[in-house]
Amino acid sequence: MTEIDGHYNMPDKVSYACRLLRKAVAAHGARLVVMADPATLDAIDQSLWALQPTEFIAHCRCDDAPHVVARSPVVLAQTGMTSLPDRPILVNLGAELPARFERFERLIDIVGSEDADKQAGRARWRHYKDRGYAIRPFPYAGAN
């Protein structure tokens, strides 16, 4: 069963996601899919390119050439896409329930501090709980 981590009350989801990606790839060699709306994906892409050269995280878009997707530890996918590369971890920054999230070993669901995002996050979490998934909560605790 998919493990679900709920990171919530994030004042800046993009910065938080980039920090999480950097730690996951650098420390654990993680391979992830990041799902979000197009504007958020653009912001993540720009933020990852702005990292220091020693902290750079190779990443691509889901619709890039197959050989690029295969070699990239982080793949950016638009919310609603169902044809995703095989990766163990899905990071969701979107408002919608990620399609076919259950095929991933782990789902990291990031919820912002805005009311609309909180409401959407609560709806997703109800969906997970109604289907028997346990959610490990990670509230925002300031910059690490």
Domains of the chain: 3-139 (3.40.50.10110)
| Dihedral angle computed from the Cα positions of residues 71, 72, 75 and 81, in that order, rounded to the nearest 10 degrees | -10
Instruction: Note whether 117 and 9 are within 8 A (CB).
Output: no
DSSP string, the chain: --EEEEEEEES-HHHHHHHHHHHHHHHH---EEEEE-HHHHHHHHHHHHTS-GGG---EEETTS-HHHHHH-SEEEEETT-------SEEEE-SSSPPTTGGGSSEEEEEEESSHHHHHHHHHHHHHHHHTT--EEEEE--S--
pLDDT at 144: 47
pLDDT interval class at 27 (50, 70, 90): confident
Predicted TM-score (pTM) of this structure: 0.95
The stretch 107-113 carries a mean pLDDT of: 98
CA 134, CA 143: separation in Å to the nearest integer? 26
pLDDT at 143: 54
Mean pLDDT of the chain: 95
Q: How many residues does the chain have?
A: 144
pLDDT interval class at 88 (50, 70, 90): very high
pLDDT interval class at 142 (50, 70, 90): confident
